[in-house]
Structure 1
């Protein structure tokens, strides 16, 4: 919860009890409880409104499956390479393309003109 572990939360509660004192502590605890209930009510209302606006088509979606924190690019690439029928198989060398000769780009005949690429559209 907000990067606070149990020990730090306990220390904060003790400091809060000492600062507020026994007179105002029950009042602030009741206000905090009311605030938590109100936030939960608002979250449930927003969730219900979203469900109503999206319709019944989105009720069966597994939202945890779409969580971007679960994506591992290495796993996705590995699965895509190993599952594709045309992809290279590990350990084979027959699928490697043959080396092709690379030609040098044409030289610019006049130094004042911009280079011209005949293959560009």
Structure 2
């Protein structure tokens, strides 16, 4: 419950409580806070145990999807999108073939070393030739 609270934060809370409540009411307020936290913890434990008793063996079946959702907290959406778009390709943009590390055409793309991997090869534009225009795309 208080996993992310360190000693510095506790010290600040004690000093603030000392200034706000004063030294004579601070012990009483700390005791009340301790009792309240203990009651809340007991209620949560009792509710969990009552749920297990009422649901029975199906409780584990309900618990599995909740654990899966908890595991999604550690999910990196950028990594998932990158993995989906590039299908795990370590060099999706072909940047490993730049600066003489691989065969490169005049237009900066890698030259095929074997048979064509696409259904048709696109020839580069000739000098002075205008690129084709797709009116639906503009």
- TM-score (normalizing by structure 2): 0.46
Q: CA deviation at 1:23?
A: 2.1
- Structure 1 residue 34 corresponds to structure 2 residue 35: yes
Cα distance in structure 2, aligned partners of 1:96 and 1:52: 61
Residue of 57, 69, 87 corresponding to 1:66? 69
Shift in alpha-carbon separation, 1:35–1:19, aligned structure 2, 3 A: same
For residues 55 and 3 of structure 1, the distance between their equivalents in structure 2, rounded to whole angstroms, comes to 33
Q: Distance in 1 between matches of 2:59 and 2:118?
A: 45
Per-residue CA shift, 1:44-95, capped at 9, x if unaligned?
122123323432133373743331313344555638x56xxxxx9x89x976
If the length of structure 1 is used for normalisation, what is the TM-score?
Answer: 0.50
Is 1:46 equivalent to 2:47 in the alignment? yes
Q: CA RMSD in A?
A: 4.2
